[in-house]
Structure 1
Amino acid sequence: MYRKLLLGAVIFSGVAYLFALAGENMTLRWIFKPGTIVLMIVLAATIRNIAKPYKYLIITGLFLSAIGDCFLLLTGKQWFTYGLVAFLFAHLAYVAAFVTRWRFSPFHLIALIPIAAYSFLLLSRLRTGILAGGNTELWLPVLVYVVVISIMIWSAVISRRWIAAAGAILFFMSDSLLAWNMFVMSLSWSGYGVMISYYLAQFLLTASIERSNRSAIAYDNYNSSI
C-alpha cells in the first residue's frame, strides 16, 4: 500500500513541477524539481530482498541527480558546470550499477554503432553552437559528459536490463534536448520535453532495481541447474 502511495507522490510531484515551470514559480520549482527525485530515492529504498550493490548505486545516482537539479536551478555558467559535474558522477554511479549485472557478448559491440554515431553528430552540432556563443570553456565538460552518458547507455545494454537501457536512452534524450536548447537552437517547449523525459528516465532506472532482482534470481537458478 505504501509503495502505491509513494508512486502517487512521485507522479504528483513531477506534474506539480511542470505546472510550477509553466507558472515560473521559483519557490515551487525548488520544492518539486529535486523533491521528485528525493521521492524516487525513498521509493527505491523500500524495495527489499534485492542485490544491494545495484540498489545502493542507483540510489547514489539519484542523490547526485537531485544535487545536479539544484545547481541547474541557479543562473550562471559556474552553476551549470557544477550541475554538469553532479550529473556526470550520477552517470558513473549508474555505470557502476550496470557493471554489477554485466552479461557481455560480442553482439553487444553492435550497440556501440548507433550510440557512437548519435553522440558524434550531437557533439559536432554542440561544438559549433558552443564556440559560436563564446562558451569555449564549456566545450570540454560537455564533451566528457556526452562520452560518459554514452558509456552509461552501453553499460545498460550489456546488463540486459531493458528497463534500465530504456531509462538510460531517455536520459540521453533529455540531456540532448537541454543542450540543444542552450547551445544550438532555442525551443519554446524544451523545458517540458526535458523534464518529462528526465523524470521518466529516472523512474525507469529506479524501477530497474526490482527488475534486476528478478532477473538475477532467474539467472542464478539457471546457472545452478547446469
Structure 2
Amino acid sequence: MRILVIEDDAVLRNQIVQALKGQGMVTDTADNGEDGLHLAETEVYDAIVLDLGLPVRDGLSVLRALRDAGDSVPVAILTARARWTERVDGLDAGADDYIVKPFHMAELMARIRALVRRSQGAVSDMFELGDVSVDLSNGTVFRNGLPVDLTRHEHSLLAHLVRNAGRYISTHELADHIYGYDSERDSNTVAVFVARLRKKLGADLIRSSRGRGYQVPGP
C-alpha cells in the first residue's frame, strides 16, 4: 500500500511513517496542507492520514478540495480537537475515519488497513492463493506453511496485486505503488520483481497479459 501522511508535527509524522514502513507500506509526507493537497492531487494513494491543524492550509480545507474534485481516496483525520461538533464537520466533509490524539499507533495501523479493505471491497487482511498465504496486517507470507522472505518492493507489489485480485494492473500503476514520490521510478523493474516473486512463490501465482499488466487470480 502507498500512504500519504500530512502532519506538521515532525516527531509524530516520523513515528507514523516508521510504523507504516514496518508493515511494508510505501509512504509520502507533507508538513503543510498546501503541499499535502498537491501530492494528493498528483499522486496515487491507497489512503491519506490527514491532520486538521495544518499550517498554510488547514486539513478540513484539504479534505473538501479533494472531495469537490471527486477524489474518493480513503482519508483518516487526525486531530487534537475532541468536541463532537468538530468530528461531525470532519465526517460531513468526507472523512472516512476520525482519530483523536493521543492515540495508540497499533490502532491507527488497524484503522488504515480497515479503510483500504473497505475501499477495495475486501473483508480480511488474509489472502489464500493456492499454497500461498499472505497476511497484510503484519506483512508475513507463507508457502506450504513455511515463511517466505520478501524484500520491501516485492512485498509492496504482491500486496497491491492481492488487494486487487482478479484485476489486471498495469506496470505503471504497480510502479506508483512501490515507489515513493521522491524515488526514481522505473516501470521496467516491475518485471524483475514479478520474476522474483514467481521464483519464490510459484510460477503460476502471477499472470501476465501484454498491454494489460499483471494479475493475481481472484477467489
Q: TM-score range by the shorter chain?
A: under 0.3
TM-score by length of 1: 0.27
TM-score by length of 2: 0.28
Which of the two has greater helix per residue? 1
Which of the two has greater strand per residue? 2
